[in-house]
Amino acid sequence: MSNNKWLSNEEDKGILIVLSGPSGVGKGTVCTALRSRARELVYSVSATTRAPREGEVDGLNYFFKTREQFLAMIEQDELLEWAEYVGNYYGTPKEFVKQTLDGGKDVILEIEVQGALKVRDQFPEGIFIFLLPPSLDELENRIVNRGTESDETIRQRMEAALYEINLLEHYDYAIVNDQVEAACNRIEAILLAEHCKRDRFLPKIKKWIEEVSE
């Protein structure tokens, strides 16, 4: 679907897509696969104070910041949202998102649940998608198999996952990430449907009617 018009609409404001879910559910993997299929979909890189994992690149996966740098961004109101999660800060740079949406491009945010709820307060018209694991056992296996987390951190992440899954009611859609390709198919179907909603066409139709009536 990478060439479809709904991913790059210069006449209308873009749609904000917020993808979140518990740690280990595969948000990054799904988001990367989706971006390779829908290249006009703009990815908003988050800032974080956590250390880079193997293979992660500053400015591509995250903007890696020191704690002092991140706190300065909060103080200067440069973040659309921010949250502290398992001892690290995560946040979304504000200006880039707003400029891209105003330019008619769709923006996808891959963020933690706390941050997603803050974004919902500012962008209630956005599409909020919660990514679920096939089961809690599978979620724990994915975190363990990373090989980067201590036993205590794994325990904290599982406790946080239970809390976050309980917030599903604040989202518009839920997708089980059993297979990455299938998850991407479902997200693309949601985006296509959202771009076909009546309310996105009403201003244009009213303009047509006004022009004819003149």
CATH number of 5-44+106-213: 3.40.50.300
Distance CA 3, CA 120 (A): 29
Distance CA 49, CA 54 (A): 15
- Residue 137: phi and psi, rounded to 5, are -60, -45
Distance CA 177, CA 133 (A): 6
Extract the tokens encoding 20.
Answer: 């979140």
Tell me what pLDDT residue 143 has: 83
What predicted TM-score, i.e. pTM, was given to this entire model? 0.78
The 8-class DSSP code of residue 14 comes to P
Chain segment 55-66, per-residue pLDDT in tens: 888 888 889 999
Series of mean pLDDT values for 10-residue runs along the chain (214 residues): 42 87 89 88 90 87 93 93 87 87 91 88 91 90 80 86 93 95 95 88 84 79
Find the angle CA(81)-CA(181)-CA(99) to the nearest 5 degrees.
Answer: 30
Chain segment 112-145, per-residue pLDDT in tens: 888 899 899 888 889 999 999 999 988 888 888 8
Tell me what pLDDT residue 146 has: 77
